[in-house]
Structure 1
Amino acid sequence: MRARQPDTTGFVDRDGVRIGYEVHGDGDVTVLLLPAWAIVHSRLWKAQIPYLAKRYRVITYDPRGNGASDRPVDPAAYDVHTQAEDALAVLDAAGAQRAVLVGNSFGSILAYLLAALHPERVAGAVLIGTTLNVTGRDDYPLAQALLTFDEDKGSDEGWNRYNRHSFQRDFAGFVRFFAGEAMNDPHSTKHWEDAVSWGLETTPEALAATLSDRAGVPPAKSAERLRALAPRITCPVLVVHGTQDRIGPVFLGRSVASLLRAPIVELEGAGHCPQARYPVQVNRLLRRFVDETVQAGTAADSEPRRTGPSRGPRREASRPRVLYLSSPIGLGHARRDLAIATELRSLVPDARIDWLAQDPVTRVLATAGERVHPASRALASESAHLQAESCEHDLHVFEAVRRMDEILVANFMTFLDVIQQEHYDLVVGDESWDVDHFLHEDPAVKRARFAWLTDFVGYVPMPAGGERERLLTADYNAEMLGHIEQHPDIRDVSIFVGDPDDVVDLPFGPGLPGIREWTQAHYSFAGYITGFDPASLGDRSHLRRELGYHPDETVVIAAVGGSGVGGSLLRRVIEAHPLAAENVPGLRTIVVTGPRLDPASLPDAPGVEKRAYVPDLHRHLAACDLALVQGGLTTTMELTATGRPFLYFPLRNHFEQQIHVPHRLRRYGAGRAMDYATATPEAIAHAMTEELGRTLTYQPVDGGGARRAATLLAECL
């Protein structure tokens, strides 16, 4: 799911070759994100588009040879000047007279040519990971490969793959190799996978044709022509280059910056595509370049201002301010966060709490009378993405989070805007994975103390994922461990919602520490937070009467929370009702669909009631005789705290529901896990009958977690 859909899409016809383009936003300044080599397309800029489009009109287009554009195989179609003129045609089609050009790799060559040959159309240029060779040197792999591109090396290993003949023999192998060279940064598995998938959208014939006008040309000859154009470039230019770029070595960027007397920002340790691996840094550089250099008319050779770890704008009053981020993945976060906020206000009475949150969490907050920050409306929907990723009672949440990368970047940039424009003393992130990750990636943007909350630690591979998933989860875990080790001051406090024994006793991965021992060393433990005091519900018989449940009926509630993945489970429960009713007199089944399922989408059945979103669902669960729920931690622990019997059905491939939650529930002796794959309506009905007759022996749930968590937050204030 994309973080932002284009406002306009279209095609331009260039001598029979169609070029597909998109337009995002409607700002006064136009930014044209140029395509790189045709081995990728405009999705390379997915982490930049949502942020830039809030301020500028952003135009992207796919290069001839990939994406929505045509894939001619005639080498003449890929002349570099022809490709540069594609950019002008797209600007014309979008009605843009001038634009700031941003080019990565080959795209920087296009930006250089356009700035020199069409200065009236170029307001500024940013060259990222440039492959412009103005030195004439040929002592690096790409230069050597271009010189010998038409020669059959007889080998398909390493840079020998960068060869017309190797393309034909094993194109997929070449794409994987080149993606690895371009995305060589540590912890870049997702970016490598993206690059491979985009590369496989073109053909070996088209890709070979793109190199025909450069193959065999001595670098000294092309460098002479490029240097001759330099005096014609008068617009502001910024060079951005990774120090570990294996496609265009950093000396290329330094040479271009020197030739043009332009500033260069070297990103330490970055590879060829820093806009993918380090999007926050690149987004900040692009915005600063446009705002301070182009819009304000700053001289082209001035160094972009660097930001330090300031504490944000001066606040107008001494009242402490808290920005609270509550995860939209499950409504339970909202209720526990409200409980923490209530306790925090009792400890710090003058604290003002603003919430940066998404639907459906904002519904809970609005009902509670909380202040939802207006910037919340700009957040891309994480819950909608997860719903789109799910199928029948199945959510591979680890992969879904990986594929949510552009949404997480976009939402972090919204958060960053908020904390840069307003003063906050404390940011509280309840499983705000984007904020925690990017604060560690770019510590200079931290503006306030940061408190991190979570109820699980560590990605755990699912068996169906095999060796690949074992390696990927270990890599993601290793990245997180490295973040904490390198920047221990980012999290001012880390709070685990639970007790030490609630943490799974598993390794983070091969050669990595154990999850429980590491968590005990790096977290404070609040105990579990139900979000309500079970004692406040009063006498259960009185609660049943208040909610309309009669003494002579057996009330079963089936609920699937805030996601839309639970429809298939509810259908099975509806089918199970008449079977269970044969053995349970007075059975009344209530199906709660939550905010994302339409009750009308489920079948009707005698004895079954359908209800939409129920704000005080925990009260109904406390009053019921049996609950049937998914494997989410919040609902199952609410049932544990109120001593209710329940069946829970963990989502398939959901590592938290399959591993972390059952581990915790086993500690309390609570609930009965059922495998959805074998949970036929008959099996569900049989289990309902058994659970209704079982004597419960749950361990008690400590009710002081919210107060302990709030005390830790108050210390940050």
Structure 2
Amino acid sequence: MRTLFPVETTVRVDENCRLWVQSRGDEHAVPVLLVMGANTSGLGWPERFVDELAERYRVVRYDHRDTGRSSRVFDEHPYAIRDLATDAVAVLDALDIERAHVVGMSMGGVLVQLLLLDHPHRLRSATLFGSAALGAQLAGGSEEGDGLPGVDPRLLAMWERIFEQRSPEEELAWRVEHWRLLNGDVLEFDPDWFRELERRIMAHSGTHRESWAHASADTGGLDRGDELIGVTTPTLVIEAPEDPVAPPPHAEYLARALGGAKRVEIPGMGHALGEPVLGPLVSTIRRHVEEVEAERRG
């Protein structure tokens, strides 16, 4: 049976937590799991991006806890960032996916690093971008200890206001401005495109109120950068030279920490998935997946 349209399901992690999951593409195709960044619904992966990958693969995206349609549990049942990595394994288990190519953005890249260390048998390959290495800066480290550049001060100023209560229109405007800063200063920024993205996310979530649970979650257990050198899973690190969250040389540092990881730059890319980067990003991920699959076939 070929399933080319989106299929939605709910995955039960435990008695308190359920995750919204969507699968798109041929269910018998090679699986690709998308792991989004902090406080962001799975709909943060743009439709065009998912559709183009789904032309060749079975693409799975999901809402982290406290985002989208997944359970809002943090206030009563606090969890650690590392628990979000085990949620990704629960998604694979529920869909009977033994091994997947896993793509992680931002915090999602941190979670994929944990999967590389703790569940390597579940990964065919890994692709990371917009992410710090475990033990560095936002991934369980400190700005003083690793010598890497920190987050753009303009973003830090915005993040000081993340817990403010805003009306729906104020919240929409805040999110669009946030994306503008994340986009970087090189590639064209289309506010209408990101406004529509956020309207879809709000409609999907059923609320305009953003949960910032991941900003409060325990970061313990992330200081494992020294273990990355032992990773043998084929891994690609995508360099986003205009990334204001994990600016250069974060990608180079991460690729070195992973030993045999490849590094490819997408010129002008920041920390946002706007239209100008979608084509190059899909092509880069496809090329990595196809190379790994060709090697597996021998």
Percent identical across equivalent pairs?
25
Decide whether the 8 Å contact of 2:240 with 2:266 is kept in 1. yes
- State the Cα deviation string for residues 498-537 of structure 1 (Å, max 9, x = none): xxxxxxxxxxxxxxxxxxxxxxxxxxxxxxxxxxxxxxxx
Decide whether the 8 Å contact of 2:127 with 2:236 is kept in 1. yes
Where 1:11 maps in the other structure, the secondary structure is strand
Does the alignment pair 1:167 with 2:166? no
- Cross-structure match for 1:354: none
Decide whether the 8 Å contact of 2:103 with 2:112 is kept in 1. yes
Decide whether the 8 Å contact of 1:75 with 1:212 is kept in 2. no
Q: In the alignment, residue 72 of structure 1 is paired with which amino acid? A: V
- Cross-structure match for 2:146: none
**Partner Cα separation in structure 1 for residue 177 and residue 133 of structure 2:** 22
Where 2:265 maps in the other structure, the secondary structure is strand
Does the alignment pair 1:10 with 2:9? yes
Note closer, same or farther for the CA distance 1:233–1:19 as it changes in structure 2 (3 Å cut). Answer: same
Where 1:278 maps in the other structure, the secondary structure is helix
Q: In the alignment, residue 161 of structure 1 is paired with which amino acid? A: M
Decide whether the 8 Å contact of 2:133 with 2:253 is kept in 1. no
**Partner Cα separation in structure 1 for residue 162 and residue 269 of structure 2:** 28
Whose RCO is larger (CA < 8 A, sep 6+)?
2
Note closer, same or farther for the CA distance 1:205–1:188 as it changes in structure 2 (3 Å cut). Answer: closer
Structure showing greater Rg:
1
Matches within 5 A, 1:102-251: 102-132=103-133, 134-135=135-136, 136=141, 138=143, 139-141=149-151, 159-163=156-160, 166-170=162-166, 172=171, 174-184=174-184, 185-197=187-199, 200=202, 201=205, 206-207=211-212, 209-213=213-217, 222=222, 225-251=223-249
**Partner Cα separation in structure 1 for residue 64 and residue 122 of structure 2:** 19
Matches within 5 A, 1:612-627: none
Q: In the alignment, residue 206 of structure 1 is paired with which amino acid? A: S
Q: In the alignment, residue 216 of structure 2 is paired with which amino acid? A: S
Shift of 1:158: 5.5
Shift of 1:83: 0.8
Can you give the 5+ residue segments of structure 1 that lack an aligned partner in the other structure? 145-156, 299-717
**Partner Cα separation in structure 2 for residue 158 and residue 81 of structure 1:** 24
Shift of 1:272: 1.0
Decide whether the 8 Å contact of 1:134 with 1:256 is kept in 2. no
Q: In the alignment, residue 233 of structure 1 is paired with which amino acid? A: V
- State the Cα deviation string for residues 623-677 of structure 1 (Å, max 9, x = none): xxxxxxxxxxxxxxxxxxxxxxxxxxxxxxxxxxxxxxxxxxxxxxxxxxxxxxx
Aligned length: 274
Q: In the alignment, residue 269 of structure 2 is paired with which amino acid? A: A
Decide whether the 8 Å contact of 2:135 with 2:225 is kept in 1. yes
Decide whether the 8 Å contact of 1:275 with 1:283 is kept in 2. no
Q: In the alignment, residue 264 of structure 1 is paired with which amino acid? A: R
Where 2:216 maps in the other structure, the secondary structure is coil
Q: In the alignment, residue 5 of structure 2 is paired with which amino acid? A: Q
Note closer, same or farther for the CA distance 1:159–1:197 as it changes in structure 2 (3 Å cut). Answer: farther
- State the Cα deviation string for residues 375-408 of structure 1 (Å, max 9, x = none): xxxxxxxxxxxxxxxxxxxxxxxxxxxxxxxxxx
Decide whether the 8 Å contact of 1:133 with 1:252 is kept in 2. no
Decide whether the 8 Å contact of 1:167 with 1:174 is kept in 2. no
Where 2:67 maps in the other structure, the secondary structure is coil
Shift of 1:54: 2.5
Note closer, same or farther for the CA distance 1:28–1:44 as it changes in structure 2 (3 Å cut). Answer: closer
Matches within 5 A, 1:418-433: none
Decide whether the 8 Å contact of 2:41 with 2:62 is kept in 1. no
Can you give the 5+ residue segments of structure 2 that lack an aligned partner in the other structure? 144-148
CA-based RMSD: 3.0
- Cross-structure match for 1:347: none
TM-score scaled by length of structure 1: 0.35
- Cross-structure match for 1:53: 54
**Partner Cα separation in structure 2 for residue 52 and residue 177 of structure 1:** 28
Matches within 5 A, 1:271-420: 271-274=270-273, 276-297=275-296
Decide whether the 8 Å contact of 1:33 with 1:60 is kept in 2. yes
**Partner Cα separation in structure 1 for residue 37 and residue 196 of structure 2:** 14
Where 2:103 maps in the other structure, the secondary structure is strand
